[in-house]
Structure 1
Amino acid sequence: MKHLPNLICIAFFLLSPSLYAQYTEVINSNRPGVSTGAYAVGKNVLQGEFGLVYEKREHDGLRTESRDFAVDFAIRYGLLLEELEVIWEGTYTFQELTLNGVNPPVVLNNSNFLRHTLGVKYLIFDPYKNPENTKPNLYSWKANNSFKWKDLIPAISLYAGANIIFSGNPFLPEDPSISPRVAIATQSHIAGRWVVIGNIIYDKFTTDDPILSYVLSVTHNLRNPKWSVFLENQGINSDAFADISLRGGAARLINENFQVDASIGTSFKDTPSRLFGTIGVSYRLDNHTDEPKTFDSRPPKRRKKNKRSRKKDNEKNNSDNNPFQQR
C-alpha cells in the first residue's frame, strides 16, 4: 500500500476542518455523490435513495474494455434516537466485458453486487446542537451568510457495518462472505450556502487486501434554494487497486420529501480509465415527531440556611434600614 501515507495525511486534514439540527424540514440526501453526511435522517424517518449508473472502462495494459449498467440504492431509517440511523446500501451491476487480447475478441457478461453493505451510523458531535449557536441575525443578511471561523468546526459521526457478499460473485470471487467496514464522516455548513463533507473509510481490513479510501465533497446551494451543485474527489488505495476520481453534478428539490439528481465523473489514470454518469432520486416517508418537552411544575426547593447565613442576612437588613449607612 505505497499510497497509504498520503491517504493518512488526507484523513487528518478531513478530520481537522467540516448542518443544521439533526432533523431537517427538507430531505437530507447523500446523493448525487458517494460521500456520506454526518447527520442522520431523523427518528422514525424512512428514506430511499436510488440511482441508475452507466460506466465505461478501458484498461490499456490488459487490453480490456467494459460497459457497466448498474442500480445503486440506499435505504436509511432513523432508529430510536435522532443521532442514529440504520443503512442498507448496495450497487447491483450488469457488465459487458470485452477481452481484446485474444483473436477474435471475447465478450463476457457478468452480473452481481459490486457493493453490498449493512451498517449503522451515529452522530457523536454536533456543533449546532445548542440553539444559541444557530440563532439568525434578524438585522443583517450579510452576517447570516458570511464566513465565520466557528463554521469550520465539523459535525462528526461514526459508521460501522459489514460487507455481505453472496457466493458465486464474479466481481469479488476471493472476498469472504462477510467483512467489516468502518468510517468517519465530517460535515460543515459554511457561510450559509456551502456544505463540506469528508469521509475516511477503512474497508475489509480483516482480509488480505484491505482498502483505505477518502471522499471530499463540496456542495453549493444556489440563489434558487431548490437547486444545488457539487464537486467531489475520491481516492481509493489497496494492494490490488488504486484510483483517484473526480465527479460533479446537480440536485433539484421537487418538494420537501422528494429530490432528483444527476452527475458525471472520470478517473485520473488509464489502468483502467473510467467515465461514468448517474441519474437518481431520493424520497422519504416522514413520520418524525418532535420529542415533547417536560417541565417541572413543582416550586423550587428552598435551601435551609445555617446560623451563620441567617446572621449575615440580619446584619444586611439592619444596614439597609439604617439611614446613615452609605449605599
Structure 2
Amino acid sequence: MSRIKPLLLTLLLFSTTFIHAQYTDVINSNRPGKSMAAFSVGKTVLQAELGMGVFREEHDLTKYNAEGITSDLALRYGAFFEQLEFMATLEYQNEVYKNLNTLKSRRNSGIREVTIGAKYLVYDPWKNYEQKPNLYSWKANHSFSWRQLIPAVGVYAAGNLSFADGKYDRPTYPDENKFSPTLGILTQNQFGRYVLVMNILADKLATQRESFDYIITVTYGFNSRWSGFIEHQGYMSDFYSDAVFRGGAAFLPMKNVQIDAAIGANVKSTPSVLTGNIGISWRFDEMYSEVFLRIPKEKGKETKEDKKKKKEKDKAKKRLDEIENSSPTPSN
C-alpha cells in the first residue's frame, strides 16, 4: 500500500500537460552574476535590476592602485514575442586613482558606459515536447532525463556607448571607441535544483579593445527563497587576458523581488582586482497574460487529448481518495 500512493501521485503529476513559457512564477534575475540567461522575462514584463559595489585594483608592474564604488542599472522588457527581450544597462563609477611612482592621485566619476541590446531564444529543447509517464515504474519516472543535457539557446546583440572620455584608462589600455558592438550566444540547462548558464561573447568588436570572453555560472536553489551561485569568467584579448571567479547568494522576500550579494576576485596581479556588491531586482508583471509555448492549442477550445488527460487525472485522483479512505489507521 505504501508504494501505490507515491505511484498514483506520480501519475497525477505527469498526466498534466508539460508546458513552459519564458515567464516564471518568481522573478528570474541576471544578478548577482555577470552572465545572462537564455530565456527572456516574458512578453509585457518589465524588470529592473540595480546594483551597488566597491572595488580595489592594484598593478604590480605599472605601479598604480585604484579604489572606489560602482553602480549599475539594468532595465529589461519583453515585447512582440514571448522569446524576445530588450535591455538597457547603465554603469556608473567613482574612483580614486593613484600613481605609486609619482604619488599623484586623481578622482574620476561619472557614467562609464551605456549598453542597449536585445536577446532572442532561438531553441528550447522542451518546446512541443511532452514527457510521458511510465505507468509501471516509479523509478523510471524519477530517473535522470538525458534531455536535460540539451541546452536552451539564445542569441544576444548590443551596442556599447562609452562616456568615459579616457577617465578610467589604465597605462596599458588602448584608446576606447565611443561606440562598439557586442555579439553573444547564451545557453541554459536545468538539472533539478541546479541551473547552468554559459555565455560566449565577442565584445567591442572591430575596435582596439576587441575581446572574446566566456562566462560559466552554476546556481543552486537551497529552497523556495534562497539560492547561491559560483561563476567563472574569462577575458581573452591582445591587451588583457584574465580569469575572474565570483560567488554569492540571492534571497526572495516576495515573488517579484530579489535581494542579492556577491564577491569576486581575479587570478592575476597585473592588475589584481577585488570586488563586492549588493543589489535588488524588481519585476512588474501586472500586464502579463500567460503564453504557453511548448504545446500550443487554439485559444478557448479544449482538444480531445486535453479531455482524455483530464479524465485520466480525475480517475487517478478518485482512486487515491478511495485508497486513503480505506487505509487502516497506522499504529504507533
TM-score by length of 2: 0.76
For residues 94 and 284 of structure 1, what CA distance do their matches in structure 2 show?
Answer: 28
* Equivalence for 2:156: 159
Percent of paired sites with the same residue: 39
Residue 237 of structure 1: how far off its partner (Å): 1.5
Q: Deviations over 1:137-161 (max 9, x none)?
A: 9x959955x5322111000000111
Cα 1:32–1:73, aligned 2, differ >3 Å: closer, same or farther? same
Conserved? CA contact 1:112–1:171, under 8 Å: no
* Equivalence for 2:313: none
* Equivalence for 2:127: 129
Residue 206 of structure 1: how far off its partner (Å): 1.5
For residues 267 and 27 of structure 2, what CA distance do their matches in structure 1 show?
Answer: 33
* Equivalence for 1:116: 114
1:168-207 correspondence to structure 2 within 5 Å: 168-171=165-168, 174-190=175-191, 192-207=192-207
Amino acid at match of 2:108: N
Residue 99 of structure 1: how far off its partner (Å): 1.0
* Equivalence for 2:309: none
* Number of residue-to-residue matches in the alignment: 273
Residue 112 of structure 1: how far off its partner (Å): 3.1
Amino acid at match of 1:171: Y
Secondary structure of the residue aligned to 1:132 is coil
Residue 136 of structure 1: how far off its partner (Å): 11
* Equivalence for 1:238: 237
* Equivalence for 2:277: 278
Amino acid at match of 1:80: F
For residues 187 and 136 of structure 1, what CA distance do their matches in structure 2 show?
Answer: 27
Q: Which moved more, 1:242-251 or 1:19-28?
A: 19-28
Q: Deviations over 1:143-182 (max 9, x none)?
A: 55x5322111000000111001237351268222211111
Amino acid at match of 1:294: K
Conserved? CA contact 1:128–1:134, under 8 Å: no
For residues 76 and 134 of structure 2, what CA distance do their matches in structure 1 show?
Answer: 30
Conserved? CA contact 1:112–1:169, under 8 Å: no
Cα 1:55–1:258, aligned 2, differ >3 Å: closer, same or farther? same
1:26-65 correspondence to structure 2 within 5 Å: 26-65=26-65
1:1-327 correspondence to structure 2 within 5 Å: 21-102=21-102, 105-130=103-128, 132-133=130-131, 143-144=141-142, 147-166=144-163, 168-171=165-168, 174-190=175-191, 192-222=192-222, 224-286=223-285, 287-291=287-291, 293-294=298-299
For residues 126 and 99 of structure 2, what CA distance do their matches in structure 1 show?
Answer: 53
Conserved? CA contact 2:201–2:214, under 8 Å: yes
Conserved? CA contact 1:112–1:170, under 8 Å: no
TM-score by length of 1: 0.78
Q: Which moved more, 1:45-54 or 1:175-184?
A: 175-184
Conserved? CA contact 2:225–2:251, under 8 Å: yes
Conserved? CA contact 2:21–2:82, under 8 Å: no
Task: Give structure 1 regions of 4+ aligned residues with deviation exceeding 6 angstroms.
Answer: 134-137
Conserved? CA contact 1:59–1:271, under 8 Å: yes
For residues 95 and 199 of structure 1, what CA distance do their matches in structure 2 show?
Answer: 29
Amino acid at match of 1:259: Q
For residues 165 and 136 of structure 1, what CA distance do their matches in structure 2 show?
Answer: 56
For residues 45 and 262 of structure 1, what CA distance do their matches in structure 2 show?
Answer: 24
Residue 44 of structure 1: how far off its partner (Å): 0.3
Amino acid at match of 1:128: W
Residue 124 of structure 1: how far off its partner (Å): 0.2
Amino acid at match of 2:126: Y
Secondary structure of the residue aligned to 1:208 is coil
Amino acid at match of 2:106: L
